[in-house]
Amino acid sequence: MSRKQGRPKMGHEPLTRDRILVTALDLVDRHGMDALSMRRLASELGVDPMALYHHLPSKSAVVAGLVERVFGEFHVPSPQNATWQDRVHAVAAAYRDLVRSHPNLVLYLTTDREASARGALEGSEALYAALAAAGLPPRQILLAADVVVDFVNGYVLSDAAGHIGESGERAALVARLNESPVDQFPTIRRVVESLTEEELRGDFHAGLGIILAGIQAMQQGSAGQL
Amino acid sequence: MSRKQGRPKMGHEPLTRDRILVTALDLVDRHGMDALSMRRLASELGVDPMALYHHLPSKSAVVAGLVERVFGEFHVPSPQNATWQDRVHAVAAAYRDLVRSHPNLVLYLTTDREASARGALEGSEALYAALAAAGLPPRQILLAADVVVDFVNGYVLSDAAGHIGESGERAALVARLNESPVDQFPTIRRVVESLTEEELRGDFHAGLGIILAGIQAMQQGSAGQL
DNA sequence: ACCTGAACACCGTTCAAGT
DNA sequence: ACCTGAACACCGTTCAAGT
């Protein structure tokens, strides 16, 4: 009688928005965004596709719900006795790890402002507070925070794209480099050839460190003008 | 007899990969990614949907072709008598403008390494050369370039998302801030309330300036260690 | 070689109907 | 109130057939 394998669930537990989103997130984590369809999601829940529409108005609402849920898991660290630099590193790393835990959702996590706003506020507050502790005036806090956020979003996007496509971070670029005439792109060639595999890897905290040094330079520059 | 309005084209000019991509890019620029389907693209060209498959193997090949085409238009500026900082600003701004000219494609432009690799090489060479001119050793060139690239990608993504969704850059965040209890997010509140509308806007070159200051600090720090 | 048309296996969503 | 089932207007892609 059972049309599907071992699932003991008989469809008894009531369908809820939450149960739908949990299943959808699992589906996306396991099989990617392309696997997320209302029909497949419904069949995963053992339910008629149209039943979903009583809890979520559309597919895009499902995706927004996923982003919201994931950002709900974003618990911002606030290390004690830490420099403002360490606090920025901690928030940024927590965000990077959050996105890494759902790499198939990265495009939506970094892009859907509306759905991520609630969770993003907590991260922003921690970031702004760290920059305020560094002694920056409001306008510089805003500028500095934007740089950090844009960098981190760019990083996680490139990080996740590397995981989704099988090629390592720089593989596609190096492949094209090797296809090109040897007299082209001399600087890239020199850099790539003088570094080991290990040194070619990106470094999140090193990159962030450059930005924090720049923030410090900006702050000291403007303090000098006072 | 004519089923469509005014189009004088009779389907005479032969279907080519290039003609397909030009039409596809126009479709995406005008109506967004969702409007790009093989069937609609074919009807735009006055042709049977399956005709497309003789020139491009799949829809994803069409999208990759678009990315490739757009990056083909990426002509990297190399200003004369410019500081290395100005050269980085120029390359970054050219890339930003390129993406801005096709905002509906931003997700694919920033994400599809494979299709963008050819065009990205020219930008990278200019960037690496500028950083080499700044006196950085290879490993630092790589790290610094990654920071610049990740920042710029994060920026254009957020910039384009602002244009696609109608809300201005920070609108969603401020909206949620106003919905929240007034004792929450004190630092964000203080920053947002002390700035004018104008000062709340992001600033691409200011952000990039912070990063360049950080690069300079890193370089001087390591030079001091020699 | 290039284009067509029917067909297959999917989509998201609306609407009327069931309990 | 919540779920169902048929139906509509789409998809991408395969395959056999036309010229």
Q: Cβ atoms within 10 A of the Cβ of A168, count?
A: 13
Question: What pLDDT was estimated at residue A222?
Answer: 73
Interchain contact, B117 vs A210, CB within 8 Å? no
Distances from the Cα of A207 to the Cα of A90, B89, B95, angstroms: 14, 18, 20
Q: How confident is the model at residue B221 (pLDDT cuts 50, 70, 90)?
A: confident
B37 touches strand D (CB under 7 A): yes
Distance CA A112, CA B203 (A): 21
CA angle A151, A155, A160 (to 5 degrees): 155
pLDDT higher than 90, residue B8: no
pLDDT of residue A166: 57
> Residue A5: is its pLDDT beyond 80?
no
pLDDT of residue B78: 86
Q: Taking 90 as the threshold, does the pLDDT of residue A221 lie above it?
A: no
| Strand runs labelled E in B49-108 | none
pLDDT at A77 over 80: yes
B190 vs A140: CA distance, rounded Å: 13
Residue-level pLDDT at B80: 84
Q: What is the pLDDT of residue B71?
A: 96
B120 contacts chain A (CB < 8 A): yes
What is the distance, to the nearest Å, from the Cα of residue A90 to the centroid of all Cα atoms in its chain?
A: 15
Q: Do A176 and B147 touch (CB under 8 A)?
A: no
Helix residue ranges, H only, A32-170: 38-45, 59-72, 84-100, 106-109, 113-133, 138-164
pLDDT-based confidence at residue B222 (cuts at 50, 70, 90)? confident
**A223 and B CB contact within 8 Å:** no
Average pLDDT of the residues in B20-32:
97
Which letter does DSSP use for residue A47 in this model? S
Condensed to tens digits (0 to 9), the pLDDT of residues A32-71 reads 999 999 999 999 999 999 999 999 999 999 999 999 999 9
Q: How far apart are CA A171 and CA B130, in angstroms?
A: 23
What band does B139 get if pLDDT is binned at 50, 70 and 90? Answer: very high
Please give the Cα distance from B14 to B11 (Å, whole number). Answer: 7
The answer, yes or no, to whether residue B217 has pLDDT greater than 90, is yes
pLDDT at A162: 73
Inter-CA distances, B148 with A200, B88, B125, B127, Å = 16, 9, 13, 9
Give the number of residues written for chain A. 226
Mean pLDDT of chain A: 90
Rounded CA–C1' distance between A22 and C10, in angstroms: 24
Residue A14 CB coordination number (10 Å): 6
- Return the percentage of chain B with pLDDT > 90, whole number: 80
Share of chain A above pLDDT 90, in %: 80
Residue located via tokens 């990063």: B211
Arithmetic mean of pLDDT, A20-36: 97
Summarize the confidence of residues A117-126 as an average pLDDT. 94
The predicted model gives B101-120 an average pLDDT of 94
Residue B28, chain A, CB below 8 Å: the answer is no
Question: CA A189 to CA A95: how far, in whole Å?
Answer: 33
Q: Is the CB of A51 under 7 A from strand D?
A: yes
Return phi, psi of residue A82, to 5°.
-110, 150
Measure B77 CA to D3 C1' (Å): 61
Residue B223 sits at the chain A interface (C-beta within 8 Å): no
Q: The dihedral of CA B1, B3, B7, B10: what is its sign?
A: negative
Task: Please give the Cα distance from B98 to B103 (Å, whole number).
Answer: 9
The predicted pLDDT at position B223 comes to 61
First to last CA, chain B: 81
How many Cα atoms sit within 13 Å of A49 on the Cβ side?
A: 7
CB-strand contact B50/D, under 7 Å: yes
Each residue of B156-171: pLDDT tens digit? Answer: 999 987 776 656 678 8
What is the C-alpha to C-alpha distance for residues B131 and B152, in angstroms, rounded to an integer? 16
pLDDT tens profile A130-166: 999 999 999 999 999 999 999 999 999 999 877 766 5
Distance CA A23, CA A25 (A): 5
CA B144/CA B218 separation, integer angstroms:
9
C-alpha distances in Å from residue A14, one per residue of A3, A6, A45, A50, B35: 20, 20, 10, 15, 37
| Separation of alpha carbons B99 and B110, rounded Å | 9
Asked whether residue B42 carries a pLDDT value surpassing 60, the answer given is yes
B69-88 pLDDT tens trace: 999 999 999 888 999 999 99
Q: Would you state the structure tokens that stand for residue B91, as one six-digit string?
A: 């390359």
Residue with tokens 């494609």: B105
The bases of strand D with some atom under 7 A from any protein CB are 2-6, 10-16
Answer yes or no: is B38 CB < 7 A from strand D. yes
* Residue A188 parent element (H or E): helix A186-193
